[in-house]
Amino acid sequence: MNCHGVSADAYFAEVAAERARKEQHAMPDNGKLRWGIAGCGRISNDFVAALTTLPSGEHEVAAVAARDRVRSEEFAKRFGIPKVYHSYEALAEDDQIDVIYIGTVNSEHTKLCKQMLHHKKHVLCEKPLTLRLQDTKDLFAFARQNGKFLMEAIWTRTFPAYKQLKSEIEQQTIGDVQLVTANFGCNAPNVPSLAQRNLGGGVLLNVGCYMIQLATLVFPNKMPTSIKAAATLNDDGVDETTAITLQYEDGAIAQFLMSTRVELDSAARIVGSEGTIEIEAPFLAPTQMLTPSGKYHFVLPFIDEKFPTNFINSAGLSYEAAEVRRCILAGELECPWMTHADSILDAEIIEKICKEIKVNYD
């Protein structure tokens, strides 16, 4: 028996291979990415609100899961999500979902990532991906073993301003970078996710990660030769205010100040031998940037007022969602703007800082 000149064995082998490819990437034929949402907190709210700015033919929120039944049902009603689960395992087992967005407290990230990857789901997990360097390495290895996309949701890297920044650095429009500075501060010392060690609290893990990723973007693939830090810890042993100085082999310095006790201007500067780039506040979700060639202004997508958001410029979460879809459709296992190596380097620097300021998540 032949099918269009191809032997039956070869034909059915190709059919099986095509089925395996579809299962591997878990995408429907129409290219619509079907999202499952793990956690119904403030960041999950903003992520789903941002998804509403993208074409409905490309993204669909198929299900949401949370342990709190009332909150999960309210969340589903707010956004018109058809399925509600009251356990993360049930969400993981849903074969009509392609990718999971994890927006739970930090201390749950590692377990949930493993659970979702085990059930052959792609994963976009909020920062920090894990609380420990080794867990970060293990998760990326596990994702690759399962042939699934995994990204730490450093949404900053997918903003147009940061893509322009990366281009400016690569083209050396400001010469050799000598200094990177950034601040971020908010008066929120009693927010549990920031203040409690068992939840993965602390200003370094929750805010400082944005500064560390800025350093590793400007100085790619480079581990600082010197890491100095000082911090004020709360009664639970996590940092409320932290000052960090990183120095690199060529003498360049990155200096960061962050706090959950006081308000600080959240701008950033990159100073080179031939000019300066200024990222206007908020540097972690920027719309404006000043370079030697002029000022850039990037207009955010519009979120309908019926979907109130919690964080500044949350519409920019749509940039990373669109990038996740692009990567999955292309069969890529990591995002080129925030690679596995980027996350591992950031985690290694953060772990060294934690040791310096005596913050321990074990």
What confidence tens digit (pLDDT) does each residue in 248-269 have?
A: 999 999 999 999 999 999 999 9
Whether the Cβ atoms of residue 250 and residue 273 lie closer than 8 Å to each other = no
Separation in Å, CA 303 to CA 52, 308, 309: 7, 8, 9
Separation in Å, CA 161 to CA 23, 98, 323: 35, 29, 15
Residue 285 — pLDDT band, cuts 50, 70, 90? Answer: very high
Name the average pLDDT for the chain: 93
What is the number of other CB atoms lying within 10 angstroms of the CB of residue 339?
17
- Over the stretch 14-56, which tens digit does the pLDDT of each residue have? 544 444 444 454 455 689 999 999 999 999 999 999 999 999 9
**Residue 276, amino acid:** T
- Over the stretch 174-191, which tens digit does the pLDDT of each residue have? 999 999 999 999 999 999
Q: What is the mean pLDDT of residues 240-245?
A: 98
Q: What is the DSSP string of 31-63?
A: --EEEEEE--SHHHHHHHHHHTTS-TTTEEEEE
Whether the Cβ atoms of residue 21 and residue 27 lie closer than 8 Å to each other = no
pLDDT for 12 equals 45
Query: Strand runs (DSSP E) across 82-133, as ranges?
Result: 83-85, 99-102, 122-126
